Amino acid sequence: MKKVEAIIKGNDFERVKNALKQVGIVPLTAYPVQGRGVQGGVPPYDLLPKIKIELVVKDEDLENVIDVIIMSARSGTPGDGKIFVLPVEDAIRIRTGERGNEALY
């Protein structure tokens, strides 16, 4: 299992969410954040509004999820965002006690 954290432009969120849903990835967490990369035209200490999406996926779904996020959030201009991938040791569905991949979706 992998945790995918994507920081994207706020106006791309609905497109990314819908694209993930189209490939069967519905569970996610999203919240507004502020940050900046190295893009020009922004004073060095100003932060820009972004959306952070977090989801845990099965290893076999990882590359597809990354591709979907890139295809639906890429404009080709600075500030499109970043994707981070982290290992996940376990997942537990509280309601049923299911563990691992069975607890994901």
- Please state, for a pLDDT cut of 90, what percent of the chain lies above it: 84
Domain holding 56: CATH number?
3.30.70.120
Q: What is the pLDDT of residue 79?
A: 87
For residue 17, the enclosing domain spans 2-103
- Structural domains in the chain (count): 1
Phi, psi for residue 44 in degrees, rounded to 5 = -55, -25
* 11 confidence band (pLDDT: 50, 70, 90): very high
Provide the whole-model pTM: 0.91
Question: What are 50-97's pLDDT values in tens digits?
Answer: 999 999 999 999 999 999 999 999 999 888 999 999 999 999 999 999
Nearest one of 48, 77, 83 to 63, comparing CA atoms: 83
